Amino acid sequence: MAKQFDTIALVGIGLIGSSIAREIKDKGLARSVTVSSRSDATLKRAQELGLGDRYTTSAAEAVKDADLVVVSVPVGASGAVAAEIAANLKPGAIVTDVGSTKGSVIAQMAPHMPPGVHFIPGHPIAGTEYSGPDAGFIGLFKGRWCILTPLPETDEAAKAKLRTFWETLGSMVDDMDPEHHDKVLAIVSHLPHIIAYNIVGTADDLEAVTESEVIKYSASGFRDFTRLAASDPIMWRDVCLHNKDAILEMLARFSEDLAYLQRAIRWGDGDKLFDLFTRTRAIRRSIIQAGQDTEMVDFGRHAMDQK
Amino acid sequence: MAKQFDTIALVGIGLIGSSIAREIKDKGLARSVTVSSRSDATLKRAQELGLGDRYTTSAAEAVKDADLVVVSVPVGASGAVAAEIAANLKPGAIVTDVGSTKGSVIAQMAPHMPPGVHFIPGHPIAGTEYSGPDAGFIGLFKGRWCILTPLPETDEAAKAKLRTFWETLGSMVDDMDPEHHDKVLAIVSHLPHIIAYNIVGTADDLEAVTESEVIKYSASGFRDFTRLAASDPIMWRDVCLHNKDAILEMLARFSEDLAYLQRAIRWGDGDKLFDLFTRTRAIRRSIIQAGQDTEMVDFGRHAMDQK
């Protein structure tokens, strides 16, 4: 495939950064890739995995010659990274990120961006419950959406270039207003993670039911939540702190709805329960039809088990 | 394999009943299997699938010669089935069920059981998001636990026979007190389903985020909940109505914990969030080590996608 950039700098080389690195190499999208992590151990591992061409613990150093800079760090670290790299950014360079919150990332990074640099925030809607450079793989972005939240003044050519980059990685690309992005993600991603973490915590705290029982019988439903609840704790702490308003709104709605359901259970109102339980089936069908989940029984677990 | 029973009657032939039917035939566990469903359409489909040897819409008729009767109906229907079959049960027959609540099933069924019949309530901890006779398959019970909640007077030989039956289907078998079963299942199964139904309902009701957005971006977490929320609505309505006390207790704890988390988010208490998000990771590891979930990324979805 044709090279899309001369030099790409990857600031942060966890699950997302390392998946991007593998895709760039696999598809030959850049002449040179510089990998940066502030952790020595992570950087060493990235080097062992051969994820880039150059390696440095200095983000400032990493971005020097880059035409594309991809910042893949917990959203709470975006501001510090922006401040660190600002002076070394090449005029005409595209700077993007992969953070799960966009309003906060823009507030943290945009003020540092020098004129002539194209800052285009982004968010690939892809991930797994694993983290770190070993967790990345080719195909992570395939068939998944990537949302760009460009600022009003964003250069169209730069945006088109970044869009092509994500499309080459297999993504479908959408533009969105940052505030709307944060609301959408609060319901489709942040609330589900918080609920999953919460229910696993509740189960862990019980006195009448042992942890060993929770584990043994988890196939009856509970285990589905444990995948999200095994996600990277730093990433998710930051998401909670950086999309507070939208998350609190969704939490309030969720709790309100749960109180309604709880009341129906207490008073034995089977019709209310049946109505909700019927309505929710249709949404899964739509998700499968949209190619955003497998229709295989049990997420395909049984098929994997039989191998 | 040696025949374990002369005649088995399956009352109810949905996901669980039809999986049992397939296993019996596959492993040659009975000379004859009678399938019963009160729905003509379901019975016809069971016949097309060749799930049994005889078919009837009358549960009373079905159990006449049976040495083993397996009742696989929504728990709200257990009492009616027991009343219907009672007079026709053969002395020495084993009657079991597969219901997700045990206290209520015992209260509904036990009073109808004639002397000389061995009533041993049971609950295979296995299932999928699909329902009906087509949804069953061989292997559903493999590696999964089956909980028996025998009554104090239960005959040991009959219990051993039923245990062997489930073990032949691939299950590991545990005995448990019915009340404890209902508490354990409230946290590992009933609460997760209720929470999943609830969050899918909350998302469906939003004004600021469209349903199409929820579907498009569901891979960021939401889709994990939609599998449980696509489960059979009648079965789950009945579970909610028939394990009310334990469910209400678990809901209260869950909501309390969620309020604590919500407060940490509102006040920016990152340490509290980080602590919980770290603790929950260990539970997933234990579930994987116990063989109750796959360690494959994303439940193995990606591996399935690549095929």
Question: In CATH, what number is assigned to the domain containing residue B66?
Answer: 3.40.50.720
Measure the CA–CA gap between B223 and B229, rounded to whole angstroms: 10
Q: Which of A52, A48, A17, A33 is nearest to A137 (CA)?
A: A17
Q: Show which of B143, B176, B209 is a domain's final residue.
A: B176
Query: At residue A211, what are phi and psi to the nearest 5 degrees?
Result: -65, -35
Report the mean per-residue pLDDT for chain A: 96
Write out pLDDT tens, residues B30-41.
999 999 999 999
A224/B228 CB distance under 8 A = yes
Write out pLDDT tens, residues B60-94.
999 999 999 999 999 999 999 999 999 999 999 99
A55 within domain boundaries:
yes
Find the CB nearest A302 among B139, B147, B213: B139
Contacts of B245 in chain A (CB under 8 A): none
Contacts of A301 in chain B (CB under 8 A): 293-294, 299-300
Claim to verify: residue A56 and residue A131 sit in the same structural domain = yes
pLDDT (mean) for B274-294: 93
Claim to verify: residue A101 and residue A249 sit in the same structural domain = no
Lowest model confidence (mean pLDDT) among A3-7, B5-9, B244-248, B281-285: B281-285
Percentage above 90 pLDDT, chain A: 94
B234 within domain boundaries:
yes
Q: What is the pLDDT of residue A275?
A: 96
B65 within domain boundaries:
yes
List, in order, residues 6 or more apart from B10 with CB less than 8 Å away: B17, B20, B21, B33, B34, B35, B36, B51, B52, B62, B70, B72
pLDDT (mean) for A2-8: 95
Task: Identify whether the C-beta of residue B123 lies closer than 8 Å to the C-beta of residue B185.
Answer: yes
Claim to verify: residue B127 and residue B225 sit in the same structural domain = no
For A272, the closest chain B residue by CA position comes to: B237
B274 within domain boundaries:
no
pLDDT band with cut points at 50, 70 and 90 for residue B305: low
Write out pLDDT tens, residues A233-257.
999 999 999 999 999 999 999 999 9
A290 within domain boundaries:
no
Model confidence at B229: pLDDT above 80: yes
pLDDT band with cut points at 50, 70 and 90 for residue A307: very low
Domain hosting A194: range is 180-268
B153 CA: distance to closest CA in chain A (Å): 25
Model confidence at A11: pLDDT above 90: yes
Model confidence at B307: pLDDT above 50: no
Claim to verify: residue A140 and residue A197 sit in the same structural domain = no
Contacts of A202 in chain B (CB under 8 A): 187, 191, 250, 253-254, 257
B192/A224 CB distance under 8 A = yes
Three-state secondary structure call for residue B7? strand
Measure the CA–CA gap between A236 and A72, rounded to whole angstroms: 14
Claim to verify: residue A187 and residue A98 sit in the same structural domain = no
How far is residue A19 CA from its own chain's centroid?
12
Model confidence at B303: pLDDT above 90: no
A229/B284 CB distance under 8 A = yes
In the sheet with B172-175, reading across from the earlier edge strand, the strands are B122-124, B145-148, B172-175
pLDDT (mean) for A52-65: 98
pLDDT (mean) for A49-68: 98
Percentage above 70 pLDDT, chain B: 98
B179 CA: distance to closest CA in chain A (Å): 11
Judged by phi (left if over 0) then psi (alpha if -120 to 50, else beta), residue A299 lies in: left
B114 CA: distance to closest CA in chain A (Å): 30
| Residue A26 sits at the chain B interface (C-beta within 8 Å) | no
- Tokens 């002539």 label which residue? A116
pLDDT (mean) for B257-279: 97
B258/A251 CB distance under 8 A = yes
Contacts of A304 in chain B (CB under 8 A): 294, 296, 300, 303-304
A64 CA: distance to closest CA in chain B (Å): 33
Claim to verify: residue A45 and residue A118 sit in the same structural domain = yes
Top residue of A104, A226, A263 to mutate, by most chain B CBs within 10 Å, is A226
Lowest model confidence (mean pLDDT) among A160-164, A299-303, B2-6, B125-129: A299-303
Contacts of B228 in chain A (CB under 8 A): 221, 224
Q: What is the pLDDT of residue A9?
A: 98
Which of B:106-135 have CB within 8 Å of A? 125-130, 135
Three-state secondary structure call for residue B118? strand
Question: Between these two residues, A90 and A207, which has the higher pLDDT value?
Answer: A90
Task: Read off the DSSP letter of residue B100.
Answer: S
Claim to verify: residue A226 and residue A157 sit in the same structural domain = no
B284 within domain boundaries:
no
Claim to verify: residue B54 and residue B76 sit in the same structural domain = yes
**CATH (domain of A201):** 1.10.3660.10
Claim to verify: residue A51 and residue A33 sit in the same structural domain = yes
Q: Show which of B236, B253, B268 is a domain's final residue.
A: B268
- What's the number of domains chain B is made of? 2
A14 within domain boundaries:
yes
Q: What is the pLDDT of residue A2?
A: 82
Model confidence at A305: pLDDT above 90: no
A134 CA: distance to closest CA in chain B (Å): 12
**Between the CA of residue A152 and those of A104, A108, A159, A306, what are the distances in Å?**
16, 17, 12, 52
pLDDT band with cut points at 50, 70 and 90 for residue B274: very high
Model confidence at B213: pLDDT above 80: yes
Write out pLDDT tens, residues A100-115.
999 999 999 999 999 9
Contacts of A258 in chain B (CB under 8 A): 194-195, 198, 251, 255
| Residue B237 sits at the chain A interface (C-beta within 8 Å) | yes
Report the mean per-residue pLDDT for chain B: 96
| Residue B187 sits at the chain A interface (C-beta within 8 Å) | yes
Model confidence at A129: pLDDT above 50: yes
Claim to verify: residue B75 and residue B221 sit in the same structural domain = no
| Residue A190 sits at the chain B interface (C-beta within 8 Å) | yes
Measure the CA–CA gap between B257 and B242, rounded to whole angstroms: 25
A258 CA: distance to closest CA in chain B (Å): 6
A146 within domain boundaries:
yes
Helix axis angle, B191-204 to B244-266, nearest 10°: 60
Measure the CA–CA gap between B54 and B166, rounded to whole angstroms: 22
Contacts of B209 in chain A (CB under 8 A): 183-184, 187-188
Find the CB nearest A218 among B211, B278, B293: B293
Environment class of residue A69 by beta-carbon count within 10 Å: exposed (0-12), middle (13-18) or buried (19+)?
A: buried
Claim to verify: residue B219 and residue B125 sit in the same structural domain = no
How far is residue A36 CA from its own chain's centroid?
19
Q: Across B65-165, where does the E strand assignment appear? A: 68-71, 94-97, 118-119, 122-124, 145-148
Q: What is the pLDDT of residue A149?
A: 98
Task: Read off the DSSP letter of residue B89.
Answer: P
Task: Read off the DSSP letter of residue B110.
Answer: G
Task: Identify whether the C-beta of residue A170 lies closer than 8 Å to the C-beta of residue A291.
Answer: no
Q: Show which of A145, A176, A207 is a domain's final residue.
A: A176
Q: What is the pLDDT of residue A301?
A: 82
Percentage above 70 pLDDT, chain A: 98
Measure the CA–CA gap between B77 and B105, rounded to whole angstroms: 9
Find the CB nearest B221 among A183, A193, A199: A193
3-state secondary structure chain A: CCCCEEEEEEECCCHHHHHHHHHHHHHCCEEEEEEECCCHHHHHHHHHCCCCCEEECCHHHHCCCCCEEEECCCHHHHHHHHHHHHHHCCCCCEEEECCCCCHHHHHHHHHHCCCCCEECCEEECCCCCCCCHHHCCCCCCCCCEEEECCCCCCCHHHHHHHHHHHHHCCCEEEECCHHHHHHHHHHHHHHHHHHHHHHHHHHHCCCCCCHHHHHHCHHHCHHHHHHHCCCCHHHHHHHHHHCHHHHHHHHHHHHHHHHHHHHHHHCCCHHHHHHHHHHHHHHHHHHHHCCCCCCCHHHHHHHHHHC
- Cα dihedral value A290, A294, A297, A302, nearest 10: 180
Claim to verify: residue A126 and residue A231 sit in the same structural domain = no
Query: At residue B56, what are phi and psi to the nearest 5 degrees?
Result: -155, 150
pLDDT band with cut points at 50, 70 and 90 for residue B306: low
